[in-house]
């Protein structure tokens, strides 16, 4: 399985690492430009979406509030 992990804070990063360890392909994105050598990170939501095969799976792990609303609005415009 492959998925996009949006938000690489404490929870999102550890989930992405666990998924990678289990053999899944993870494309990560974090607005704070978090990067790791343990899985592929992208520079934008658009890069994550374009890097995933359809059907696309995106897991959003961002703080509640305005950040969540902005990420969901942006993803809505990018995903079919």
| Residue-wise pLDDT tens digits, 15-55 | 999 999 999 999 999 987 777 788 899 999 999 999 999 99
Taking residues 9-15, what's their average pLDDT?
A: 93
pTM higher than 0.85, yes or no?
yes
Q: Looking at the 3D structure of the chain, how many domains does it have?
A: 1
Domain of residue 18, residue span: 2-78
SS3 for the chain is: CEEEEECCCHHHHHHHHHHHHCCCEEEEECCCCCCCCCCEECCCHHHHHHHCCCCCCEEECCCCCHHHHHHHHHHHHHCC
pLDDT band at 57 (very low <50, low <70, confident <90, very high): very high
Q: The domain that contains 69 carries what CATH number?
A: 3.40.50.720
């Amino acid at each position: 399985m492959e998925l996009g992990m949006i938000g690489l804070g404490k929870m999102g990063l550890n989930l992405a690492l666990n998924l990678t360890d289990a053999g899944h392909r993870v494309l990560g994105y974090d607005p704070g430009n978090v990067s790791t050598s343990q899985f592929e990170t992208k520079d934008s939501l658009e890069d994550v979406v374009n890097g995933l095969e359809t059907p696309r799976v995106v897991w959003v792990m961002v703080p509640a509030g305005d950040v969540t609303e902005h990420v969901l609005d942006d993803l809505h415009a990018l995903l079919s």
